[in-house]
Amino acid sequence: MKYLFLMLIASTSLAAAQNGKALYTSNCASCHQATGKGIPAAFPPLAGHFPAILAADGRKYTINVVLYGLNGSIKVNGKTYNGAMPGLAQLSDGDLAAILNEVSISWKNALPDGQKPYTADEIKAEHAAKKTPEQVHDLRPAALK
């Protein structure tokens, strides 16, 4: 009986790791919206913008944003956002990879040429190097305006 219970838990977390859309809905959509368009002046868009972060060499930055949050003024498509995003370091490496992969390919977003989907191992390395939301802001590619 005890083993059955453990197996149930194991299979549930495996299913969650594979379900980027559900994870996005429960962890990101309240701010960035189901459409990925965000809310003007409050929550920046991910639709039509996330690939630009990746193309600007911001892959490590994106991992740190979801892990540790973000605090500091940013500009997206010429509009300023000066909010604070909470981190989600309590999620597993697999779940965070699934969310980032979902955001990479949703709403007509696509991975830039030559970039592969995020892996749990890639998240793990950043998960071990804790940062403040301000330190994450320092990682934002300067090319993003």
Smaller CB separation from ligand HEC, 7 or 86: 86
44 makes contact with ligand HEC (CB under 6 A): yes
Contact 109, 50 (CB under 8 A): yes
Q: Which residue in the set 21, 22, 37, 83 belongs to the binding site for ligand HEC (CB under 6 A)? A: 83
Contact 23, 13 (CB under 8 A): no
Q: Which residue in the set 16, 19, 21, 31 belongs to the binding site for ligand HEC (CB under 6 A)? A: 31
Q: Which of 42, 40, 26 is nearest to 102 (CA)?
A: 26
Q: Which helix (H) or strand (E) holds 71?
A: strand 69-71
Q: Which residue in the set 19, 71, 92, 135 belongs to the binding site for ligand HEC (CB under 6 A)? A: 71
Q: Which of 28, 131, 142 is nearest to 74 (CA)?
A: 142
Contact 32, 46 (CB under 8 A): yes
Smaller CB separation from ligand HEC, 17 or 53: 53
Interface residues with ligand HEC (CB under 6 A) are 27-28, 30-32, 43-44, 46, 53, 62, 65-66, 70-72, 74, 76, 81-86, 88, 99, 103, 140, 144
